Amino acid sequence: MKLPLGPLCVVAGSLLSSTVFAHAAVAGATPPYAGATFEADFTVSHGCDGADTYKMRVRIPEGVTGVRPLDSVFGKAEVEKDASGNVTAVTWTRPTGDVKAADTHFFHLGLRMKLPAKPFTSVFFPTTQTCRTPEGVESVVEWSSTAGGEHGHDGDAGTAPAENPAPSLYLLPSRLPGWNQYTVEEHVHDLTVFKDALIVWSGAQAYSFNPVTQALIEKEQGVTALTQIHPGTVIWVKY
């Protein structure tokens, strides 16, 4: 690690732990740290072709444990479990009498969970949205695609977002104020996951989300810009 640049430690912007989709999304008031308890807020921005949303079923991926749903204004939550007692899905259903005649409302659905201890990976929550007309006709939209991963390095990494993307969280490593050392086990090609860090070092390479700091990095003799991180790389990150 090369640490010669005092001016590089400039405060960067805060990290927002959210993935924004057109219809179904998940976020939280705190960043989604790997291995930590996280309170997730699933949002439903609108219904289906003018029909109001009647039911939302969120599938819980393997590795996510300790799931406890929150009843909401939308409706009460019911959990599904496997033979081992692990929660595999949560469904919120509105009382039939509460379904609106038109698609006019925005909804929040809450879950508390423990996230997998796998930093620099994405966790997907395939979601089924069921809408209902005043006549009782139901329609279903599956928000289940994991293609076009924003930060990962699978076959779809860096591609355009999928048409019906599953809500997802990108897991971050836990950190303390000051310097943190990590061995990255996944390929990270989108370094904006460090946008709340002051600076990231790997050998004689460095990255900062702050454009002024990044410009200093690019001017520093013997230092090159860090553009991606390969599995097995040791990095130093200052928060």
- 164: pLDDT confidence band, cut at 50, 70 and 90? confident
Q: What is the mean pLDDT of residues 41-64?
A: 93
Buried b (16+ CB within 10 A) or exposed e, 148-185: bbbbbbeebeeeebbebbbbbbbbbbebeeeebebebe
CA distances from 90 to 25, 52, 179 (A): 15, 20, 39
Domains and CATH numbers, the chain: 6-13+174-238 (no CATH), 24-170 (2.60.40.2230)
Least confident piece of the model among 130-134, 162-166, 222-226:
162-166
Give the span between the Cα atoms of 27 and 136, in whole angstroms. Answer: 31
* Mean predicted confidence (pLDDT) in 69-84: 95
| Range from 45-49, 114-118, 177-181 carrying the lowest mean pLDDT | 45-49
The average pLDDT across 73-89 equals 95
Element (H, E) at 64: none
Pairwise CA distance, residues 131 & 140, whole Å? 6
pLDDT, greater one: 224 or 23: 224
Reported confidence tier of residue 161, pLDDT bands at 50, 70, 90: low
